[in-house]
């Protein structure tokens, strides 16, 4: 009888220990192939440095390729919530793909932390948080720089998808307020290999500056098209172009380009009193130790900040519920909304129930491509 009681007690202890050590499951959907791979692959690399535990619980990352395809991203999200039953979703790095995942995550009551500046209608982002700065925040830095440069006219050359439209919507009113006239708007698809007709139309208007809205290695092609058509004015690129691929692909055509960026890449150029300097340096040093000198990448920085966010929010959520439950998923959302001012490599974040973007207008850092590298302006 005593032996039976001992075995029963041991069984209860084992079950309790197993429950206490339930894995935290995180579903990750990134563009590891297709036009967005220049963004997704560095983010995946940074996730190789992700901790094995959070708040004392084991973490399981389930990483899937969405192939830069919104349909594939939606399928990944569906798998995460129905088969894998994840506690949290990270992705995607492409705006259109992240947007395709949002309703699925929301319906399942699962937080989605996007690695792209995805926009949704007001009131639809209860379960959606963003790591990249909003286009409004980054557009503010671009327009302020244009004003200082004496720009009076600008042409817009951007993607036909959500990223291009959201930038156009964000920057248009700011340009009007600054007295800068938008003299031409041309669009192109991510899969296009040439922008010759669009470049001809824009260069014929001869604006003081061009704003190119594209991402990763794909941001070089439209600028090369403008240069080939003889454009000599200033060119601005968005934070989606702040990757080594811009210079690797664009070469001399992108020298002198103004690129808005988060501070993550620029730790060694930031003043000592910049709040993100310490984390930006930590991100770059650890990433380049693992993947080589000059391998730093803005999008890898978002994965670094994803870790910062989860290291703060998950322990708070664990005080309220156990992994694998609806209560834990809700607790993650509540923790992100209430964890307060948090310094990221990409700026200072303060998510609230009313604001799932979190960054202030001072976040964007203007850089200039000099000898193939980004130099703070």
pTM of the full structure: 0.81
Give yes or no for a contact between 369 and 377, defined as CB atoms under 8 angstroms apart: no
Tens of pLDDT, residue by residue over 202-235, are: 999 999 999 999 998 899 999 999 999 999 999 9
DSSP alpha helices (H): ranges in 149-273?
Answer: 162-178, 196-205, 220-228, 244-250
Say what the pLDDT of residue 19 is. Answer: 40
The stretch 264-272 carries a mean pLDDT of 92
Count Cβ atoms within 10 A of the Cβ of residue 39 and give its class: 0-12 exposed, 13-18 middle, 19 or more buried: buried
Average pLDDT score, the chain? 92
Tens of pLDDT, residue by residue over 344-369, are: 999 999 999 999 999 988 889 999 99
Give yes or no for a contact between 374 and 368, defined as CB atoms under 8 angstroms apart: yes
User: Is pLDDT of 20 > 50?
Assistant: no
CATH of 2-133+294-349 among 3.40.50.1370, 3.40.50.2300, 3.30.70.20, 3.40.50.720: 3.40.50.2300
Rounded distance between C-alpha atoms, residue 150 and residue 258, angstroms: 14
Domain map (residue ranges) of the chain: 2-133+294-349, 135-261
Classify domain 135-261 at the CATH class level: alpha beta
Q: 2-133+294-349 and 135-261 share one CATH topology? A: yes
Tens of pLDDT, residue by residue over 93-139, are: 999 999 999 999 999 999 999 999 898 888 889 999 999 999 999 99
């Amino acid at each position: 009888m005593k032996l039976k009681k001992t075995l029963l007690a041991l069984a209860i202890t084992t079950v309790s220990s197993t429950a206490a050590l339930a894995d935290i499951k995180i579903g990750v959907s990134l563009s590891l192939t297709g036009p967005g791979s220049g963004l997704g692959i560095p983010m995946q690399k940074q996730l190789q440095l992700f901790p094995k535990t959070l708040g004392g619980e084991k973490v399981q990352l389930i990483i899937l390729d969405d192939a830069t395809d919104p349909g594939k991203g939606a399928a990944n999200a569906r798998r995460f919530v129905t088969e894998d039953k994840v506690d949290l979703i990270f992705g995607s790095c492409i705006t259109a793909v992240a947007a395709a995942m949002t309703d699925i995550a929301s319906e399942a009551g699962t937080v989605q932390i996007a690695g792209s500046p995805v926009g949704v209608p007001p009131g639809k982002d209860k379960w959606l948080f963003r790591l990249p700065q909003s286009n409004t925040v980054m557009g503010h830095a671009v327009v302020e720089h244009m004003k200082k440069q004496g720009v009076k006219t600008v042409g817009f050359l951007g993607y036909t998808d959500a990223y291009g439209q959201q930038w156009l919507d964000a920057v248009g009113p700011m340009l009007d307020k600054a007295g800068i006239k938008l003299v031409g708007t041309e669009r192109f698809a991510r899969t296009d290999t040439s922008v010759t007709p669009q470049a001809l139309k824009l260069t014929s208007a001869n604006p003081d500056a061009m704003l190119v809205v594209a991402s990763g290695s794909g941001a070089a092609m439209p600028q090369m098209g403008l240069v080939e058509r003889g454009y000599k004015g200033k060119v601005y690129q968005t934070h989606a172009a702040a990757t080594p691929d811009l210079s690797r692909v664009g070469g001399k055509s992108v020298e002198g380009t103004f690129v808005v960026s988060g501070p993550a890449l620029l730790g060694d150029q930031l003043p000592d009193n910049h709040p993100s300097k310490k984390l930006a340096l930590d991100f770059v040093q650890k990433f380049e130790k693992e993947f080589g000198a000059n391998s730093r990448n803005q999008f890898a920085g978002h994965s670094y900040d994803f870790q910062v966010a989860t290291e703060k929010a998950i322990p708070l959520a664990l005080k309220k519920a156990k992994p694998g439950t609806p209560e834990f998923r809700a607790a993650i959302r509540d923790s992100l909304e209430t964890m307060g001012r948090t310094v990221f490599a990409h700026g200072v974040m303060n998510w609230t129930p009313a604001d799932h973007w979190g960054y202030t207008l001072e976040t964007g850092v203007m850089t200039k491509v000099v000898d193939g590298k980004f130099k703070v302006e």
